[in-house]
Structures are given as C-alpha cells and as structure tokens.
Structure 1
C-alpha cells in the first residue's frame, strides 16, 4: 500500500478491530520501526537476550464457533518499545457456548490449550505470564446465569494453572470493544499520531474504529430469517425464509435457542426474494466509505471464510476477490446450481449479505479485496493489542 494513500485508508476487519481499539488509548508517538518483526534469531536463553529480556502473554479468544489461544512473546529492550518476537496460535471447536448446559465439559479443550501454553512458555516465566480469556458474541448472547457458570469454570482452571491469573482475567467483551467480532467495521485515518502496535502491519497509521453492532454475520442471519433482537419472533422457534433452499427444513442454534428453519415453497425466486430481505435489513444502517474505489483494502473473518467455501482462495494462503465475485457466487448458489451436501444451507444468505453490505458501503463491483489470515506472520486478531494492554496494566498496578 502506498504511503500517500494511508491518509484515507480503510480496512475491513473482523477480530482485528478491537485489537486496535485497545492499543490506541495508550500510545502516542512512536518510531516507524518500533514494532517491526525481528529477523530470525539463534536460540538464546528463555528469559533474556544479549540486549534485553522476554515477556510472555496468553490470550484466549472464546468466540461463538471456537476457542483460540494466542501465546505472544515480546522482546523488551531498555528505553525501547517492546517488539513482538513470536506468536503461537492454536484453535479448538466448538465454542464455549456449546457447553452452556454442562460447563464441566468445556474443561478438556481448555486444558489442552493450556498445555500448548506450558510447552511454549519457559517454566521460569510461568508465574510472570498473565493468562486471560475474553469471551465474545457466543457467551454474550447466553442467559446471564449460564454464561457466568462457564466463566466460573474457566476461572477455576486458570487458578489451577501455573500462570498468573487475577480477578479480571476472565470476562465477556462488550460489542464495542470487540468491534463486532465477525461483522463488518471500517477503520479510517484522521490524525497524524503513530501507534506502536501498528508498526508491524501498516507503517504509520492512525485509526478510528466504527463498529456496526448487530450486523455481524450470525446476528444478520437471525434478522433476515425472521428473528428479532436475538429472540424468536413472537415466541416461535420456527423461521421460514426465502433465503433457504425451497421446501428445505433443518435446525440452527443461535444464542442458546434452537430454531427450526424452513425454506419457502418451490417456485419462489430465491436470490431476488432473499436480496430484498437483506436490503431492508441494511437500509441506512452503514456509512459510505468515501474512498472505497481508490485505496487498497483487506478483508478478514467471514469474508475470508466464504471465499474459501467457494474455492475462490486457498484456505492457508488467502488471495484476492472482487465484490462482483461474491454477487455472482450468490446468484449461482441461490439458484441451486452450486448446492452440494457439503455446503452450508446458509451459504446463499451469507453471500447475498456480504455482496449487499459491500455495495451499501460504496464499493464498486470490480473493487478487489486482499484476503488474509495473517499480516506479517501475525494473526489478524484483537488479541495482540488486548494482551499488550493487559501486560501494561499489570505494570501500572
């Protein structure tokens, strides 16, 4: 991306957005290379290097579809900003919310991820390494008592672990801090301050995060299918929608409610009828990206996942895709030409939602997006900034 375009840059981010929000509250000016990833090093003692020492942080991202662990290794130098030296990442399915009726069953997966942390962090650093879990949409939508029982089980596991655990180590993020994990937001530049944590990704850049609460993919699905505010419409758990295959029937669980979802009678124009539903949902809900046609954009989260589902990009390496590609794929899938038993029954709806949302934001049909899971070998996630912020808060207290 050319530096001359940075003043108006927008990025699409799922989980990366809240990461930026955490960081921007705490940092002012920084050197442009303050967070450049270091070159590969020869192995040194676990707690120090010739010029400094290492600090570790463990962040669990408890999402609606899975639990992910990020183990960060920061190199600290005297009078210098910390540098990210390495990240270890693992993920397990399903998400914690799947154990809402039996919290004890969540322990096995969390213990497995804690073992990854124990094998990554040197034993000499265990008691100095904070372990934190932040739950996102999946737990936020559960009834309060069920969510709290799950979090209590996590707190007990963290207390039993050799890592540093405090009263605030386990919590549910609100929608603003999360940046609507999995939904669409945009980041725009307005000032000239530098953010240290962004150096490893975008050179010098200032951000303003705009969060569209309720427009995440799962919440949008519910609204388009006929649910309201995360609840069944008029108490019913049956949802009938033109966005599903005609005369199809199945079940879908969202926010601890199991819905029966059905398609309408055969002969209905699926694509046109579903698009109308999505357009009504998004009407006047988002702002136009004023430089949408002129700058480079990255897309993450479900934009990436649906492109993988379509075979448009490789799951491990990513690639590029146009707004028009999502729209044309939606027409194919919704017409039934591309349906297969392995595809999600919501693929038609999801693709229409993505294509309409991008157009509502002002992106022209041939606008190309870069799809990536990592930037400079770092997972695109809010977890890095949240971990760094937590470590700094420990120092202050």
Structure 2
C-alpha cells in the first residue's frame, strides 16, 4: 500500500524530533557525568581530597624497618604536584621488639607483631587508598648476619602475611636490604628533609649512620678525583626527582656498635654457645663484672686487673679490631655531615646534646669523652659499663673514615619533626624505581 505524501512527511519530521530529543538528553547526562576518583596507581597522582592544598594530590607509602633490635613501621603521607618535589605531610611511627632475627628458629612467632603493626597502617591510611599504597619491608643487618636458610624462612613467612593484607604488596616488597642501599636511603632522607634534593642548588650533605650490626657512610663527591680513586663498588648513581646523583656509599657489616663491641671484648659473632661465656676486656673498669646478652648468647663480662691505663689499653684493642677494615674517604672535611643512631645516643649520654633537640659536636668530643670516662676509677652511676669501650670505638671509627678532630657533625633524630631514618628515603627510592 502506498503511503500518502503528507503522512510520509509527518513520519519524517517526527523521527527527526525524536532524534534531536535523544541527542539533547544524551549530552545533558554527559555534562553531569564525572569519572570516578580512583586512588593513586602507577603514576596517577590520585584524587584531590578535602584538606589537601590546592593542586596537590595525596598518596601514601608504608615501610617496615626490620632491624637487628626491633621492627618499626613508618606510614608516610605525601602531597604530589606534577614536576614538583613531593611534600611529606605526615608520618606515623611505631616500633616493637624484638627484631625479626629473634624468630629465626620459629618464624611463625613473628606473625603477631606484624599484624599488630598492620593495624597502625590501617588506622593511618584511608581505606580508599589501601589497594594503591605500597607496602614494603626491608630487613637490615640482623637478617644479613643470619644463615641463608633461616633468613629465607623468615622472609617467606613475612611474604605470606603481606599477601593477605589489603595494601599493594608486589613480589619484591619483602627483602634483605643491601648495606649500601641502607646508606643511600638514609642519604636520600636527610637531603630530602633539609631541602637539598631536586632544587637548583646541587649542594648536598653527607650521612653517617651507626647501627647495631653495621655502619654506613654516604655522600655525593664534588671532586672527580674521589670518584676515580675510590673502590668501584663504593660509587653508584641514582635518579631522584628528575635529578641524577653520583654517590660514594659503603656499608661495613659487622662494624655496627654492638657487633664491634663483641669483637673488642673478644667474642665471635654468630657463634652458638651453650650457657654463659666469659669475656675479659681492658675496656671495662677493673672491678666490673656483669652480664650482657648479644644475639642468643649471654656473656659474663669483666674488666682486667689494674695495670696499663684503661684508655691506652682499650685504644690498642680497638685499633687492632679496625686495622685495615676501613677505607678512608676523601672530602669528609669539605661538606656538612649528619650523623645518626648510636652517634646520637652516645652524645646524649654524655650531655653533649639535648635528647629531643639534637645539636652539633666535634669529632674530638668523642675521643675527649673516651679519655675522661676510661680514666675514671669506676662506672658513673646510671651509665653503661661499656661507655669507655663505645666512645673509644666511635672516635677511632671516625678517624679511620677520614674525619679530622675539629670536624663538626650535626646530630639529629628528627628534621622538621620528621624521623631521620632510612625508611623515608627507601620508600621514595622504591616508588621511583617501580614507577608507583
């Protein structure tokens, strides 16, 4: 049947009107639609949220520091903006003892402490950010000194716990940290907190860290001769905040304060010994006798009978322990250095700095204090019986590293209310290396 021309025209007009109404409705909906605010993932700067400054976007990182004496969690909140060095807006910190290495013979026992620290992370990071917040654990000297099989079993247990967390845990998230990486991470931390990274001014500060099992030195050489004459494995390059840095960095495993203390007393690290072992040392007061636990061994330690002055005989013992074990670094007198951990703690014990504020000491302050303490007839009330030994060790260590007696060292536990540990630098390095 043929459709009349008028009816055909009406159908055409009606169809056109219907199409126009559909288009109008579609674009109205499109104008109202906004993509959902997804959390940060692989370079996405994340959503702008209430409370963040204009143009800056929020992200988080969780770093577990599995040290020789304890496990610590650092939860960092950063603010990012394109082509800008990030800002550290907040840090949450909690520590538990003992360290992971204490569970070497029973890895399952480490789970309770890890779960306790996970609760800190969950309370510090909004749930909408959990699956995009990197979760990382780096173990340091405590696990580096364990037999390989025991360390592997511990790390596998940690990986199993991490895999059940709501955070972003990659295959490389749990590992033993190379000593040099520890030094580099601490260097990143202190230079970030002092504003020396990513700016037009290329001057940076050096870093000294004295832990229980190892000690590190890291700085950025300004003299090409330093790079050319240093051992090849002491020199590395990193990319941080769109800037390349050449670094001199080395970690001396076994020369942390507690491990060195054992060597100076005459003990052997990692040696299994039933019951108590007696160590006699010229670095202890002649009348001193007591117990000291290191690792899984309880030592009975006592001083030698009076004879040669304590300081002189202790100095000789320390020098023998450090003989040819330290590479003297160049440029140590030409740049500012920050010193952490036991450098800080011993300065507090001596009253050279305030515990909360930190301060500046000279290298000679440690040797001068060693002579005073070692020359005392007995251990000062409330002080460690190892104070003479520890101070003598630090003074010789700094001398062997190349620091002159009149060199100033800046001691800081925090900079701008932020912890100076390697954890901040490590999470930055991890996120940059993995493009997170």
TM-score scaled by structure 1?
0.75
Counterpart of 1:280 (choices 298, 314, 320) is 320
Unaligned 5+ runs, structure 1 = 1-42
Please list, as runs of the form range in 1=range in 2, the aligned pairs for 1:137-286 lying within 5 A after superposition: 137-179=141-183, 182=211, 183-190=215-222, 196=240, 206-228=246-268, 230-231=270-271, 237-286=277-326
RMSD: 3.3
| Count of aligned pairs between the two proteins | 348
Which structure has more relative contact order (CA 8 Å, sep 6+)? It is 1
- The CA distance in 2 between the partners of 1:257 and 1:101, in whole Å, is 14
SS of the equivalent of 1:212 reads: strand
* Cα pair distance change 1:104/1:210, threshold 3 Å: closer
Match of 1:318 among 350, 358, 362: 358
Following superposition, the deviation at residue 304 of structure 1 comes to 0.5
What do the CA deviations read for 1:182-221 (whole angstroms, capped 9, x no partner)? 214242424899964599xxxx975321333432222222
The 3 A distance-change label for structure 1 pair 337 and 94 is: farther
C-alpha distance in 1 between matches for 2:398 and 2:304? 27
Contact 1:197–1:385 under 8 Å retained in 2 = no
1:32-64 per-residue CA deviation (whole Å, 9 max, x = no partner) reads xxxxxxxxxxx9438x76425322110011111
Which sits farther off after the overlay, 122-131 or 139-148? Answer: 139-148
Distance 1:190 1:321, change over 3 A: closer
Task: Work out which of the residue numbers 131, 134, 138 in structure 2 matches 1:130.
Answer: 134
Distance 1:388 1:194 in 2: 12
1:278, CA displacement in angstroms? 1.0
Distance verdict in 2 for CA 1:198–1:323, change over 3 Å: farther
Tell me the distance in 2 between the aligned counterparts of 1:346 and 1:197.
43
Counting only pairs closer than 5 Å after superposition, residues 1-397 of structure 1 correspond to structure 2 as: 44-45=49-50, 50-179=54-183, 182=211, 183-190=215-222, 196=240, 206-228=246-268, 230-231=270-271, 237-336=277-376, 339-340=379-380, 342-395=382-435
Task: Point out the more displaced range, 217-226 or 351-360.
Answer: 217-226
CA contact (8 A) 1:138 1:255 kept: no
Higher Cα Rg: structure 1 or 2? 2
CA apart distance, 1:222: 2.3
Unaligned residue ranges in structure 2 (runs of 5+): 1-47, 184-208, 225-236
CA shift, 1:135, in A, is 0.9
Give me the whole-angstrom Cα distance separating, in 2, the residues matched to 1:117 and 1:168. Answer: 19
Q: 1:198 to 1:325 in 2, by over 3 A?
A: farther
Which moved further from structure 2: 284-293 or 116-125?
284-293
Which secondary structure does the structure 1 equivalent of 2:62 belong to? strand
Contact 2:63/2:136 (<8 A) preserved: yes
Alpha carbons of structure 1 residues 364 and 214: separation in structure 2 relative to 1, 3 Å: same
SS at match of 1:167: coil
Q: Find the residue that maps to 1:327 and give its secondary structure.
A: helix
1:260 and 1:329 map into 2 onto residues whose CA distance is: 26
